[in-house]
Amino acid sequence: MQLRSLILYSKSGKVRELEFRLGELNIITGSSRTGKSIVLDIVDFCLGRDDAPVSVGPITKTVQWVAVLLQLPDTRAFVARRLPAKGKKSISTAMLEFGSALQPLPYERLANNCDSDELRQQLGLRIGLGDVRSEPRPGSLQAPFAVHLGHAAPLSLQNQDEITTRSILFHRQGERDGGARLTSTLPYFLGAVGEDQAQQQHDLTTARRLLRRRQQDLKIAETADGDIDARLHLLLAQAQTAGLIPAGEVFDSRHELLDALREAVRFPPATVTEDASQAETNAGLHARRTELRAQLAEISEQRQFLARQEAEEDSYTQMVQRGISRLRAVDLLPPGTEPHSGASACPLCGSHLPQPDRAVEDMHQTLNDLQHQLTSVRTVRPRREQTLRDLADLADIAREELRGVEGALTSLAELEAGRTRFLAQAEEQAFLRGRIDAHLSQLQGTGDTYEGSLLQARAAAAFAQAQVDDLEAELDTDAMQDRLDHALNYISTDMTAYAQELKLEHSKRSIRLDVRKLTVLADSDEGIIPLLRIGSGENWVGYHLVTHLALHRYFTLHQRPVPRMLLLDQVTQPFYPSEVAKDSGSPDVIRSDADRNTVRGMFELMYRFTNDLEPHFQLIVSDHANLPDQWYQDCVRYNWRNGDALIPQDWIDEHTP
């Protein structure tokens, strides 16, 4: 793939075409702000990039469509892209036409007929990019992807910001996933990995992922199988303790144990419910106990009352008996002196008294009263003693009945406590049954099914391992690495020769490309020096140039599916520091002879490079330099100075308010 022409279509329908020679060095020279750098951006856009990499300015104000006419191995391709509308940065539509004698189409025929994905696919097929998959390096988070023209195009472009930096080596390497995709695809573009090998590598990576999953499944199954018996016997012990399975029962196999546990889950033991008559009996006994206790309390009060009466009677009887004992002295009076006789005689001496003495009579009367009272008290005592005996008998009967009632209540309380314990045990059994059921459900049904799953896991792991072994046998990674090393050594030889010709720093020994880190490495007495540690912009530009020339020489000579062109922008910018120097482009404005020799040496290298590969490689350089050498002037296709530029002035005037 080489560039025959680049076409601009103005918003008014005017056409501006830039023609390029195939298989030669094409130079666009000019002063600053003439549109030299936009040429590379337009080619990048027309090769399928969605983002339109054109800066806001004359082109966005005047141009509506951009197009390229590409020379393919067996035909030509016309690609046109409409620039995004104002305020938008990307567009995915495109126009693609093929034809062996195709010429740039007129403005009236421009119309979208595909998208950017189809554009890259169709152009990629024309340069030999088949259905290729790229497999990222092991450990990468990047997903596998299909290789297309969008991965080859960055190898053919170097804009002015990229060619003078030491941190990146390739076009769009600094964008998100840009470096990772270049690292993944470079081995394929270098021929170390063929199309079938790329697919085999993808299949091998997929098979290894599957093998890791199968091995993990097998590990889980074996771990589960290793402790399943221990867990089942633990559940058995808990079930026997809880009464779900008879204690002491022994099972000879896992199947019998599983069946027993399932039976324990399926048929729980009978539960006990509270009897209503029992509750009624319990309430009646409590009421009777209360009545008996009240009755005993009442009997006790009556007995205490009778006891107090008896004590009071005893005290009264003793007092009456003392009185009677004192009054018994009246019985010592002389005979013939009787009470109530009417005689007035002294009771002691018997002499006649002038007045009758009634003391004896009163004493006799009192004695008789006391004797009557004592008789009354003694008459009541037997009845009270009988009452006390009757109360004692009633108390004994009540106490006996109370002991029976309390015994019955104690028995009922023990029954209730037993029922409560049974209910607690039933709750514990229900919890254990749920736990056993959950565990059995994890065993995937029967023991046979579980053991079958283990056998299936082992078979699946063995089959996955066999697939990996077969793919590894088919895909010789050592051979791929040997091919990659061979390609890099081939490229390193050219890089070293080109770097020594340009007299770049640290080029006395070997210069090589690191495809993993996407940088240049230089061997020196101090060790291996990466491009990041090599100083000066002149060296950075030089190493970019020699790397891409060496790569494309390899791509061309080995017929790799990469565009046969390289677009470079501002390769001499470190040597033209001022705007005056850039406008002139003459080597005479460069300060030192060494720098002038370096600039001339770079263009001489590019000139010889294209001549050596003619007509199979095209080099397009946009630069300030305008060397007076005849060979250089023969390569100049456009010199944009003194008012000439990519966008004609009449286009700008036409769209200027």
- 155: confidence class by pLDDT, cuts 50, 70, 90: very high
Pick the more confident residue, 444 or 167: 167
* pLDDT tens readout for residues 126-147: 998 876 655 555 555 445 557 7
* pLDDT score of 311: 75
* pLDDT score of 112: 95
pLDDT at 567 over 70: yes
Structure tokens at 399: 């106490």
* pLDDT score of 518: 92
**CA-CA distances (angstroms) from residue 639 to 484, 596, 624, 653?**
42, 20, 9, 21
Mean pLDDT on 281-295: 82
* pLDDT score of 340: 47
* pLDDT score of 344: 59
Pick the more confident residue, 452 or 1: 1
**CA-CA distances (angstroms) from residue 534 to 17, 247, 508, 528, 537?**
41, 84, 14, 11, 9
Pick the more confident residue, 27 or 205: 27
Mean pLDDT on 189-215: 80
pLDDT at 43 over 60: yes
- 106: confidence class by pLDDT, cuts 50, 70, 90: very high
pLDDT at 589 over 90: no
pLDDT at 274 over 80: no
pTM of the model: 0.61
* pLDDT score of 141: 45
Look at 3-7, 34-38, 155-159, 356-360 and tell me which has the smallest mean pLDDT: 356-360
Q: Is residue 550 assigned to a domain?
A: no
**CA-CA distances (angstroms) from residue 16 to 3, 32, 47, 612, 637?**
15, 20, 19, 32, 14
pLDDT at 16 over 60: yes
- 11: confidence class by pLDDT, cuts 50, 70, 90: very high
**CA-CA distances (angstroms) from residue 420 to 274, 286, 608?**
10, 20, 105
How many angstroms separate the CA atoms of 232 and 254, rounded? 8
Mean pLDDT on 260-265: 74
DSSP class of 472: H
361-398 as b/e, with b when 16 or more CB fall inside 10 Å? eebbeebeebeeebeeeeeeeeeeeeeeeebeebbeeb
pLDDT at 436 over 70: yes
Quote the strand ranges of 506-547, DSSP E: 511-514, 519-524, 527-530
Q: Is residue 55 assigned to a domain?
A: no
* pLDDT score of 441: 73
Mean pLDDT on 174-194: 85
* pLDDT tens readout for residues 323-357: 677 666 555 555 444 444 445 566 666 676 676 66
Q: Is residue 235 assigned to a domain?
A: no
pLDDT at 524 over 50: yes
Pick the more confident residue, 280 or 268: 280
For the chain, the average pLDDT equals 81
Length of the chain: 657
Question: How many other C-beta atoms can be found within 10 angstroms of the C-beta atom of residue 140?
Answer: 12
**CA-CA distances (angstroms) from residue 50 to 44, 45, 65, 83, 307?**
10, 7, 14, 10, 123
**Using CB atoms within 10 A of its CB, is residue 297 exposed (0-12), middle (13-18) or buried (19+)?**
exposed
Q: Is residue 540 assigned to a domain?
A: no
* pLDDT score of 640: 94
Look at 81-95, 524-538, 569-583, 587-601 and tell me which has the smallest mean pLDDT: 569-583
Judge whether 337 and 361 are in contact, CB under 8 Å.
no
* pLDDT score of 29: 93
Q: Is residue 318 assigned to a domain?
A: yes
- 365: confidence class by pLDDT, cuts 50, 70, 90: confident
How many angstroms separate the CA atoms of 61 and 50, rounded? 20
Percent of the chain with pLDDT strictly greater than 70: 79
- 595: confidence class by pLDDT, cuts 50, 70, 90: confident
Q: Is residue 403 assigned to a domain?
A: yes
* pLDDT score of 353: 67
Q: Is residue 623 assigned to a domain?
A: no
DSSP class of 137: P
Q: Is residue 208 assigned to a domain?
A: no
Judge whether 24 and 610 are in contact, CB under 8 Å.
yes
pLDDT at 220 over 50: yes
Largest CA distance in the chain: 206
* pLDDT tens readout for residues 462-497: 999 998 888 877 777 777 888 899 999 999 999 999
Q: How many domains does the chain have?
A: 1
* pLDDT tens readout for residues 392-403: 888 888 888 878
pLDDT at 231 over 70: yes
474-510 as b/e, with b when 16 or more CB fall inside 10 Å? ebeeeebeebbeebbebbbebbbebbebbebbbbeeb
Query: Residue 345: which residues within 8 A CB-CB, separation 6 or more?
Result: 337, 351, 352, 353
- 445: confidence class by pLDDT, cuts 50, 70, 90: very low
Mean pLDDT on 304-317: 74
Range of the domain at 392: 276-331+358-420
* pLDDT score of 600: 92
